[in-house]
C-alpha cells in the first residue's frame, strides 16, 4: 500500500506552500511535477493489477455460482428419478459451490471497493498533475511577484527611516564646496601681468592710435576742399 500513501501525500500537498519554503521555486515545482508523474505511473500499474485480481475473483464467483446451479438441477433430476443417494451427493456439491460463491462474492466486494478508491485517487492525482503542468508558469510568476513585493516593501520601510531632503541638501553643499575650491585653484594659478606685458599693451594702444590718425588723414584727403566746391558753382 506504499503507493497509496504516496498518492495521498501528494494529494494533500499544498504546492503554493511548498514554493514559499523553497530556495528555488522553479526547481521545486519541477521536482513536484516529476514526483507526481512518477506516482501516477506507479498508481496506474497498481490499479491495473488490482482490477485484474478483481476480474479473477469475479470469474471464480460466477464459476462457482454456475456450478452450484448445475448441481442443483442434477439433485432435482436425481430426486425425480428416485435416486436419493445421487440426489444427496449432488446437494452436497451444490452447497459447497454455493459457499464458495458466497466467499468469492465477499472477496469481490472488498476488492471492488479497493479498486474504486484507487481509481478515485488516481483520477484526483491526474487532475492535480494536469493542473500543475498547465499552471506551472502562472504559479512561478505569482511567487516571483510575491517576492518582488516583499523586497519593495522592505526597501520602502528602509527609506521611510531616512530624510531624503537632508541628504540632497548635504550633497548640494558638497558640490558647491567643490566648485568653490576649483575657482580658488584657478585664481591662485592665474599668472599676473608682468611689466613687459603692461608696456606691450601700451605700445599696442599707441600703434592703434597711429593707425586711426592715418585713416582719418586719408579720408580727409579724399574729400573735396571747400574752395573747390565754390569754384564749381555757376556764376
Model pTM above 0.85: no
Q: Residue 52 is inside which H or E element, if any?
A: helix 25-81
Q: Report angle CA 26, 29, 33 to the nearest 5 degrees.
A: 135
Cβ-contact 69, 53 below 8 angstroms: no
Q: CA–CA separation, 96 vs 9, rounded Å?
A: 44
> What's the pLDDT tens digit per position in 3-21?
556 655 555 555 556 556 6
Q: CA–CA separation, 18 vs 12, rounded Å?
A: 12
Average of per-residue pLDDT across 139-166: 72
Which residues of the chain form beta strands (DSSP E)?
Answer: none
What is the Cα 129 distance to its own chain's centre? Answer: 17
Check whether 1 has a pLDDT greater than 50. Answer: no
Q: CA–CA separation, 159 vs 168, rounded Å?
A: 14
φ/ψ of residue 24, rounded to 5: -125, 95
CA dihedral for 104, 106, 108, 110, sign (positive or negative): negative
What's residue 193's pLDDT? 55
How does residue 235 score in pLDDT terms, banded at 50, 70 and 90? very low
> What's the pLDDT tens digit per position in 157-171?
766 665 556 667 777
Cβ-contact 129, 40 below 8 angstroms: yes
> What's the pLDDT tens digit per position in 83-129?
999 999 999 999 999 999 999 999 999 999 999 998 888 888 888 88
What's residue 188's pLDDT? 72
Check whether 154 has a pLDDT greater than 90. Answer: no
Q: CA–CA separation, 112 vs 57, rounded Å?
A: 10
Q: Mean of the per-residue pLDDT values for the chain?
A: 78
How does residue 179 score in pLDDT terms, banded at 50, 70 and 90? confident
What's residue 78's pLDDT? 93
What's residue 92's pLDDT? 96
Q: CA–CA separation, 124 vs 233, rounded Å?
A: 130
Average of per-residue pLDDT across 45-72: 94
Question: Does residue 26 or residue 124 have the better pLDDT?
Answer: 124
Q: CA–CA separation, 26 vs 23, rounded Å?
A: 9
Q: CA–CA separation, 187 vs 224, rounded Å?
A: 56
What is the Cα 75 distance to its own chain's centre? Answer: 75
Average of per-residue pLDDT across 41-70: 93
Angstrom distances, CA of residue 96 to CA of 63, 100, 126, 143: 12, 6, 44, 65
Cβ-based neighbour number of residue 77 at 10 Å = 13
Cβ-contact 68, 94 below 8 angstroms: yes
Average of per-residue pLDDT across 116-145: 82
> What is the Rg, in whole angstroms, of the alpha carbon atoms belonging to the chain?
56
What's residue 7's pLDDT? 58
Amino acid at each position: 500500500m506504499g503507493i497509496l500513501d504516496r498518492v495521498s501525500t501528494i494529494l494533500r500537498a499544498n504546492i503554493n506552500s511548498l514554493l514559499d519554503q523553497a530556495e528555488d521555486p522553479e526547481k521545486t515545482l519541477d521536482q513536484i511535477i516529476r514526483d507526481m508523474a512518477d506516482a501516477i505511473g506507479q498508481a496506474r500499474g497498481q490499479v491495473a493489477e488490482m482490477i485484474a485480481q478483481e476480474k479473477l475473483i469475479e470469474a471464480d464467483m460466477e464459476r462457482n455460482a454456475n456450478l452450484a446451479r448445475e448441481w442443483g438441477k442434477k439433485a432435482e433430476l436425481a430426486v425425480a428419478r428416485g435416486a436419493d443417494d445421487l440426489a444427496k451427493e449432488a446437494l452436497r456439491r451444490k452447497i459447497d459451490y454455493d459457499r464458495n460463491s458466497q466467499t468469492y462474492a465477499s472477496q469481490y466486494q472488498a476488492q471492488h471497493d479497493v479498486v474504486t478508491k484507487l481509481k478515485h485517487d488516481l483520477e484526483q492525482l491526474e487532475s492535480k498533475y494536469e493542473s500543475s503542468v498547465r499552471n506551472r508558469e502562472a504559479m512561478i510568476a505569482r511567487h516571483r511577484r510575491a517576492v518582488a513585493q516583499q523586497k519593495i516593501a522592505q526597501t520602502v520601510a528602509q527609506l521611510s527611516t531616512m530624510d531624503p531632503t537632508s541628504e540632497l541638501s548635504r550633497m548640494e553643499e558638497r558640490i558647491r564646496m567643490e566648485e568653490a575650491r576649483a575657482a580658488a585653484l584657478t585664481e591662485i594659478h592665474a599668472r599676473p601681468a608682468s611689466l613687459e606685458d603692461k608696456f606691450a599693451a601700451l605700445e599696442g594702444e599707441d600703434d592703434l592710435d597711429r593707425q586711426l590718425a592715418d585713416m582719418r588723414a586719408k579720408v580727409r584727403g579724399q574729400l573735396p576742399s571747400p574752395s573747390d566746391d565754390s569754384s564749381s558753382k555757376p556764376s
